[in-house]
Every structure is written in structure tokens, then in C-alpha cells.
Structure 1
Amino acid sequence: MNVVRFFWRSLALAVLVSLSPLSPLSTALAQDPTQSEIAEARALFMAGQAAVDSGRWADAVDSFSRAYDLSGVAAALYNLGFAYRALGRHVEARDAFDGLLEDHPRFDRQKRREARRYRDESAGRVGQVTLSGLDENRRYLLRFDGQAVADDGTRPLVVEGDPGAHTLTVRTPGFVPFVWEEELRDGQQITVDVEMDEIQVAVVGGGGAVGGGAGAGSGLGGGTEQPEVDEGGFPWWGWVIIGAVVVGGGLAAYFIINGEMQLQGESDRVYDL
């Protein structure tokens, strides 16, 4: 058996909380769960423990998370935080233990001390990327490893990540997307200066001039030259526009015809909108 896997399995068997001693006072739901929800949560809890026993930590996360959503039982949240920690997902582990400590003050005192220690260990491994240069009057679309990050207007904006390689993209209308790719070390804090170039769009002026942005300095100057035309007297850019319409219409028709296709991460057709 892999040494690391054996270590985590042995540690988990020692620290995971059993469901048997729990009381209704250990739940954090707005209303008491139904009997069917309790039964389902118990089955999920046991499935999570079985997943830990066999080293299937991702399955354990899924089971404990669903068990907690159904029951609000503190033990499920404790075990969820531990499973996140075993996977190296320290941001989520820290947040799970924070939720346990805040929402379950009557949880077992010894387990609360352990949860605080695990929480601090995971928090110490979370890296931070501080984004400077963002306009406070704009809102940006950010994705960190493909996951959306909310831009709440805070400047500078801080994005958290686990140790490892990451990709961050920043988008805003009218500007070329900014892409940052780098590896974060345990607890590393870095500052990234976000510099975004404005997209230059060619426009046709009243005198037939073509230019970028405001129309100055590029394209056909002074209106003395005319756009190139084909033998039939039709401007070349007219064919470009017609072609775009035809292609666009075909693409729209494709999605209508193939509407049942779900563009998921596993699909061959993933579009970055």
C-alpha cells in the first residue's frame, strides 16, 4: 500500500467522528430534517466513512458534503474538513472548519480543539494573489483555474489558492484578456500587476478612411484612396460582412439542431465565452 495513502487512512480512522453519539442539538439547519432526510444523511455518512477507509477521498468529500447539507450534523462537517485537508484543498478545509467552529459551539470540546488546529494548519498553507491595477470603476470577470471569482469592487482584489500550479484570467469589455500562470507555494503571498491593452477596432470614417480607435494614424488617409473592390464593383469588406453573417447563421443553426448537446467539461466542444 502507498505510504502516504496508508498514513492518511490511519490518521483518518483515528480522528473521524462517528455518527452514533450525536444529538439533535448538534444540527445547524433552519428547521429539523425529516426522517427520510435523516436516513439518507446517515447512509451518506456511512458511505463517506467507507470511502475514507479505502482511500477514496474525493468520494468521501461528496458523501460528507451531501450528508451535512441534509442533516446539518456537525460530525459530517468535521469529517468533510478533514477530507478536504487530505486532498490538499486547504481553502475549502479552512472554510469547513471555520463553519464548524462558528455554527456548532456545542460540538464535542476535544473535537473543536482538533478542528481549530487543523483549521490553522490549512490556513497557513493557503496562498494569496493580490491583483493590483484594477480600475475601481470597472467590474471584471475573473476565473481562477476555470472557476468564477466574484469581483466585489475591493481594490486591490485578493484571490486565494492552494499550493500548486494555477491559471488566472481577467476580462472586461473592450480590453484584451489578461492571463497569469504561475505556481503557488505553501502560504505564498504575491502581487500581480494586471495590465490590459485596449482592443483597437477598425472603423470607417465619413471620408472613407479606415482607422483604429478614433480613426487617426492608420488605414486610408485623407479620403483620397477608396476601398479595394472586385471586378463587380463590390467592396472586399462587403464580402467579409456577408461571410460573417452566413457563418454566424450556420453556427446558430448548429446549436439549435444540436440543442441536446450539453457543453460540459468532458465534452469535446468547450467554448470560452
Structure 2
Amino acid sequence: MMAVNQRRSPAMRLVALLSGAVVVAQLATAHAQQAPAPPPSSQAAPPTQAAQAAQAAPAAPAAPAASADADPSKAVYEAARVLYEDGDYAGALLSFQRAYDLSGSANTLWNMALCEKNLRRYARAIRLLERYQMEGGERLTEEDRKGATYLITTMRGFVSTVKIAVDQRDATVTVDDEAVGITPLARPLLVDMGFRRVQVKKKGFLPFDERVRVVGGNEMSVNVKLEAEVHEGRLEVTAGVHDLIALDGQVVAQGRFAGKVQSGGHTLKVTGPGMQPYQSEVVIQDEKLRRIQVTLQPAPKTGLPAWLMVAGGAVLAAGVGFTAGYLLFQAGEAGEPTRGTLAPYTVEIR
């Protein structure tokens, strides 16, 4: 397995301190990009020499130690060196990451940190250097550790510790479109200075999406309160001045109604004195406006006119008299005489 930047010669052992000096010079010259300069001698360059170190030509990270031809990480590492020397730090970062995946060498993390530094992604560079110190373990010399610590301390002025507190659990938090965790977050985040985009999303809630100004070398908090997602639209109903407007069986207005209504189907009913009721099913869509104009029609009259009542009464009375007369004289229509109790016991009715 290839060991990148393992036990180096005295000329290479202090590349960490050199890189720290490059960072100081880079910050002093207001964002002037500078690849790591050639390493100094056995003494670590003091901060006062940073400007002079920055004037040196860019140098690629140290070459990996000799390894067997069968080691696939060697070719990937050499490609990363070419990209780094050409100033393609993004491409070099990808190749160094691939070399790390193949070799597992902690020293490759150092080279990745240099790429992130040159891309001005200081928070990522710091995290990589912390991994470098942890994974390197006893294989790192004291000078290696001092160099990494110095570089981390220098870049701390360009990042802030941000604590993001969300009132809902299991929400996804992203910073600049990069997922950083699920709430509640285990620890504060290390974020580069500048305007950062903070997003918090959870199903059933409206997304939180804001640009937050981060000042370097500081600690800050971002408190997020998610609002429940409500599916609703607007409904406007216009009717007569004295008409009552009811929605789903409850009177909501008289004459005119305008307001928010939950999305879905609803029963609309409009009633008025002496008017025929109006009823209809209304469908409300999310964030849509539905307007309805209702004009009630007069209700049909159910009582009979007075003249019909009088005429009907006369007809009814005549009918009753006719029926009574018919029943009274119906017996006289027979051919046989009516029998009585006096002699001659029969009486003819003519």
C-alpha cells in the first residue's frame, strides 16, 4: 500500500509549517491564491516570513514514497500532482480523494486539505487537517502535528461555529446545498464566513430557506421554527344583501363571504327570506381563488287564491246538497209502493 508523504527527508518534513505560512501570506494579500511553497530547512518559518514565502512559485504536494508497480493509487496520486501544479485544485482534490480511498494514507488527507484551502473552503480544510492528525496517530512527527495545528489556528479566523436549533425532530439541515445532519444536530457546525444558505426541510412542514451572514472567528446561533404545511385556497361568495351563506352546514356570512378555506370539497348553501335555497358542491384547490356569484329565485307560492277558495266552497256546498237530495229521494224512484203501519198499509208517493 502506498504511503503518501511518509517519513520525509529533512527538506520535506516541515511542509505543514510552510503551508501555514502560505496561508498567512494569502490572507494578507487579500485572497491571492497561492499553492504551497517549497519547504524550508529544519526551522519552521515564523509568521513574519510568510510574505516572503508567498512570493515563491507554487509547488505540488510531496511525491509519495516508492511503491510497487501493482499499487493502483500511485498513478492516481501522480495525476493529482499534475492537476495541483496546474492550479486545478478542484480536480486535484478529486484525484487525491481517490488516492486516499485506494491507499488509506493519512498523509493524503494533508494534500486534500491544501486543495480545500486554495479553494477558500476553510471549514473543510480544517476538518481534513483534524482527520489528518487523528488518523496519522503515532506515525506523525511532532513537527507534523505542529504544522497542522498552526494551519488550523490560522484558518480559524475565517470560519465560525454555528449552532442550528430546530423546533422539530428528524428535519434535514443543509448548508449551501450540502447536507450536514438530521435534527437535533449532535454538535455546532463549522461554517465559512460570508453569506451562507441554510435550509431545513421536513415532510408536512413548510421549508425554511434563508441566507445567513456568517462573520469569521465568531460563534452564532440560528433558531428555526418550522410552520405546519396547510393545504388551503380562497373562496369568495357574493349573494343578496339579506341572504345567508353557509359552508358545510355552518353559516359563515350574510350577503358576501371571502376567506381561506381548506382544500378539497365543500357544500355551499345560500338561503334568503321568500327565496328558493341554492346548494352546490364547491372544490377548493391549493393557493387558488374560487369566486361564486349566487342569485336566488323567488320561491313558488303553495296556497290557493281566494276566488278559488270561494268557488270551491260553493261547488262543495252544491255537491253536498245534491248528494243529500239524491239520497233523500232515491227510494221514491222504485216502482213498488212504500209499505206503512196504518191501513191500508201502503202509501204511494208520487
More helix by share: 1
The Cα of 1:67 is off from its aligned counterpart by: 0.5
- Output the TM-score relative to the length of structure 2: 0.50
Residues 208 and 119 of structure 1: is their aligned pair in 2 closer, same or farther, counting only changes over 3 Å?
same
Question: Aligned pairs, how many?
Answer: 208
Q: How does 1:128-143 map to 2 (within 5 A)?
A: 128-132=161-165, 134-135=166-167, 138-143=169-174
Q: Indicate the SS of the match to 2:150.
A: helix
Name the counterpart of 2:269.
226
1:148 is aligned, of 166, 173, 179, to: 179
Residues 236 and 4 of structure 1: is their aligned pair in 2 closer, same or farther, counting only changes over 3 Å?
same
Aligned partners of 2:113 and 2:125 also within 8 Å: yes
How far apart, CA to CA, are the structure 1 residues paired with 2:36 and 2:251?
71
Residues 225 and 64 of structure 1: is their aligned pair in 2 closer, same or farther, counting only changes over 3 Å?
closer
Q: Indicate the SS of the match to 1:4.
A: coil
Matched, 1:8 2:74: no
**1:21-70 CA-partner distances (Å, limit 9, x unpaired):** 68xxxxxxxxxxx964x23x111111111112111111111111110110
Residues 92 and 140 of structure 1: is their aligned pair in 2 closer, same or farther, counting only changes over 3 Å?
same
Q: How does 1:65-144 map to 2 (within 5 A)?
A: 65-109=97-141, 110-132=143-165, 134-135=166-167, 138-144=169-175
Question: Which has the larger Rg?
Answer: 2
Q: Indicate the SS of the match to 1:8.
A: coil
How far apart, CA to CA, are the structure 2 residues paired with 1:77 and 1:218?
56
The Cα of 1:236 is off from its aligned counterpart by: 4.2
Please report the RMSD computed on the Cα atoms of aligned residues, expressed in angstroms: 3.8
Matched, 1:18 2:69: no
How far apart, CA to CA, are the structure 2 residues paired with 1:175 and 1:188?
31
Name the counterpart of 1:194.
224
Aligned partners of 2:172 and 2:182 also within 8 Å: yes
Residues 147 and 224 of structure 1: is their aligned pair in 2 closer, same or farther, counting only changes over 3 Å?
closer
The Cα of 1:105 is off from its aligned counterpart by: 2.3
More strand by share: 2
**1:126-165 CA-partner distances (Å, limit 9, x unpaired):** 2222224x23x6221222111122125248x633321222
Task: List structure 1 segments (4+ residues) > 4 angstroms apart after TM superposition.
Answer: 11-15, 217-220
**1:65-98 CA-partner distances (Å, limit 9, x unpaired):** 1101100123322211111111111222112111
Residues 89 and 131 of structure 1: is their aligned pair in 2 closer, same or farther, counting only changes over 3 Å?
same
AA aligned opposite 1:62? L
Residues 235 and 184 of structure 1: is their aligned pair in 2 closer, same or farther, counting only changes over 3 Å?
same
AA aligned opposite 1:4? A
How far apart, CA to CA, are the structure 2 residues paired with 1:82 and 1:148?
23
2:208 is aligned, of 150, 168, 178, to: 178
Residues 234 and 162 of structure 1: is their aligned pair in 2 closer, same or farther, counting only changes over 3 Å?
same
| Amino-acid identity (%) | 22
Residues 102 and 42 of structure 1: is their aligned pair in 2 closer, same or farther, counting only changes over 3 Å?
same
Q: Indicate the SS of the match to 1:198.
A: coil
Residues 111 and 196 of structure 1: is their aligned pair in 2 closer, same or farther, counting only changes over 3 Å?
same
Aligned partners of 1:17 and 1:78 also within 8 Å: no
- Output the TM-score relative to the length of structure 1: 0.62
